[in-house]
């Protein structure tokens, strides 16, 4: 009967879809499980550093991987979140850490609106140069502003009590708070990417004139993506400040903007897990090198990884693994 063949095809597709969803959910559950037991195996402060940078890289990847916009100034948002949170928590002892982080994230989001409006006026290579220049402007602002502590930065930011109840002084409590923030940010990015909004972003990345001709307000989509990315980068910076109890110029330097590009590129641009993997690798590498005789060569080694990635490893670790998987198991 023709009717049954018509019915059969969608069922097979639906079945495959269901199995794929199941696999993905199982994978995420496993990942959360690893995150929950990790602080009993590795040093929590080290893990928190990885999580903060992973969130930063995921936020950056939303822009590069899904909207095709290479921002060379994401350090500005990381630092703005960090400085705002640090300043507020240090000057108002009654403020709880989650409110401090919220305020820092808001500040970075506002800056994202400002920078976004300016930088999406230019495309491609100019976009990268504009964001870099704007971030450098913020760097000088942070050096001169009265509330950032100039070259010294902000020190001794109190971790405080979460919701005024749970003390974050213990690294374990702090870790679970950071882990929760990371999951929240990651879930938001995951939802954004898989939403109709995310699909339009991809369309813009692939063929901007086509997206315009289909009637999409391309600039508005780019701006929203930019603001979400900036806000989440700010969230990462704010959280980092609470963890390490300091905010410094390192976060605002253009090296930081380069590092987040490297993390994303190494892990895999345009994959959800890539930035997480890349951040883990780069932070671990820096940690290992800092203790070895090669400690002074960190930036040379990062530069070399950059060159190798661009020359022969452009889809990153997750991208390459995905290609191998698709080739052999499908």
- Among 141, 188, 224, 285, interactor with another protein by CB under 8 A: 141
- Rounded Cα distance, 34 and 290, in Å: 26
Site string for another protein, 81-120 (x = CB under 8 A): -------------------------------------xx-
Q: Is residue 38 within 8 Å of residue 178, measured between CB atoms?
A: no
Q: Which residues contact 152 (CB under 8 A, 6 or more apart)?
A: 248
Per-residue burial over 110-142, b = 16 or more CB atoms within 10 Å of its CB, e = otherwise = bbbeebbeebbeeeeeebbebbbebbbebbeeb
- Among 300, 323, 324, 325, interactor with another protein by CB under 8 A: 300
- CB-wise, 160 or 267, nearer to another protein? 267
CA distances from 8 to 4, 12, 15, 155, 330 (A): 6, 6, 11, 65, 21
- CB-wise, 44 or 258, nearer to another protein? 258
Lookup: tokens for 253:
């330097």
- CB-wise, 30 or 300, nearer to another protein? 300
If you ran DSSP here, which 8-state letter would residue 161 be given? Answer: E
Question: What count of other Cβ atoms lies within 10 Å of the Cβ of residue 191?
Answer: 11
Q: Considering only residues 117-136, where is the footprint of another protein by CB under 8 A?
A: 118-119, 121-126, 128-130, 132-134, 136
Site string for another protein, 197-236 (x = CB under 8 A): ----------------------------------------
Confirm or reject binding of residue 75 to another protein (CB under 8 A).
no
Backbone angles phi, psi at 55, to 5 degrees: -65, -40
CA distances from 31 to 78, 183, 187, 211 (A): 25, 11, 13, 36
Length of the chain: 330
Q: Which stretch binds another protein (CB under 8 A): 75-83, 98-106, 170-178, 297-305?
A: 297-305
Q: How far is the CB of 99 from another protein (least distance, A)?
A: 31
Site string for another protein, 2-41 (x = CB under 8 A): ----------------------------------------
Confirm or reject binding of residue 311 to another protein (CB under 8 A).
yes
- Among 31, 38, 45, 70, interactor with another protein by CB under 8 A: 70
Confirm or reject binding of residue 254 to another protein (CB under 8 A).
yes
Residue in 238, 80, 197 with CA at minimum distance from that of residue 147:
80
Q: Considering only residues 146-175, where is the footprint of another protein by CB under 8 A?
A: none
Q: Which stretch binds another protein (CB under 8 A): 83-91, 170-178, 217-225, 295-303?
A: 295-303
If you ran DSSP here, which 8-state letter would residue 315 be given? Answer: T
- Annotate 188-215 with DSSP letters as a single string: HHHHHHHSHHHHHHHHHHH-HHHHHHTT
Q: How far is the CB of 95 from another protein (least distance, A)?
A: 30
- Among 90, 228, 236, 302, interactor with another protein by CB under 8 A: 302
Binding site residues, another protein, CB under 8 A? 70, 118-119, 121-126, 128-130, 132-134, 136-137, 140-141, 144, 254, 258, 261, 265, 296-300, 302-307, 309-311, 314
């Amino acid at each position: 009967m023709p009717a049954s063949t018509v019915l059969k095809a969608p069922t097979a597709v639906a079945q495959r879809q269901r199995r794929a969803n199941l696999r993905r959910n199982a994978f995420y559950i496993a990942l959360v499980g690893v995150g929950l037991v990790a602080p009993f195996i590795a040093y929590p402060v080290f893990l928190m550093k990885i999580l903060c940078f992973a969130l930063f890289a995921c936020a950056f990847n939303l822009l590069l991987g899904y909207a095709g916009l290479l921002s060379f100034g994401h350090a500005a948002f990381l630092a703005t979140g960090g400085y705002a949170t640090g300043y507020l928590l240090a000057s108002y002892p009654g403020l709880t850490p989650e409110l401090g982080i919220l305020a820092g994230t808001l500040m970075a989001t506002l800056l994202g609106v400002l920078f976004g409006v300016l930088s999406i006026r230019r495309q491609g290579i100019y976009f990268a140069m504009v964001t870099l220049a704007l971030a450098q402007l913020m760097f000088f602002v942070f050096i001169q502003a009265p509330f950032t502590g100039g070259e010294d930065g902000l020190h001794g930011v109190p971790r405080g009590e979460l919701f005024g109840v749970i003390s974050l002084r213990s690294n374990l409590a702090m870790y679970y708070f950071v882990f929760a923030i990371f999951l929240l940010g990651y879930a938001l990015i995951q939802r954004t990417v898989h939403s109709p909004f995310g699909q339009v972003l991809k369309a813009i990345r692939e063929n901007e004139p086509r997206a315009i001709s289909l009637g999409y307000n391309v600039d508005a989509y780019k701006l929203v993506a930019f603001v979400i990315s900036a806000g989440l980068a700010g969230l990462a910076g704010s959280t980092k400040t609470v963890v390490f109890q300091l905010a410094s110029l390192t976060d605002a330097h253009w090296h930081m903007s380069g590092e987040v590009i490297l993390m994303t590129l190494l892990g895999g641009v345009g994959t959800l897990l890539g930035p997480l993997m890349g951040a883990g690798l780069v932070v671990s590498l820096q940690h290992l090198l800092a203790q070895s005789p090669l400690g002074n060569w960190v930036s040379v080694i990062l530069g070399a990884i950059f060159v190798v990635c661009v020359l022969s490893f452009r889809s990153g670790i997750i991208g390459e693994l995905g290609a191998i998987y698709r080739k052999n198991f499908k």
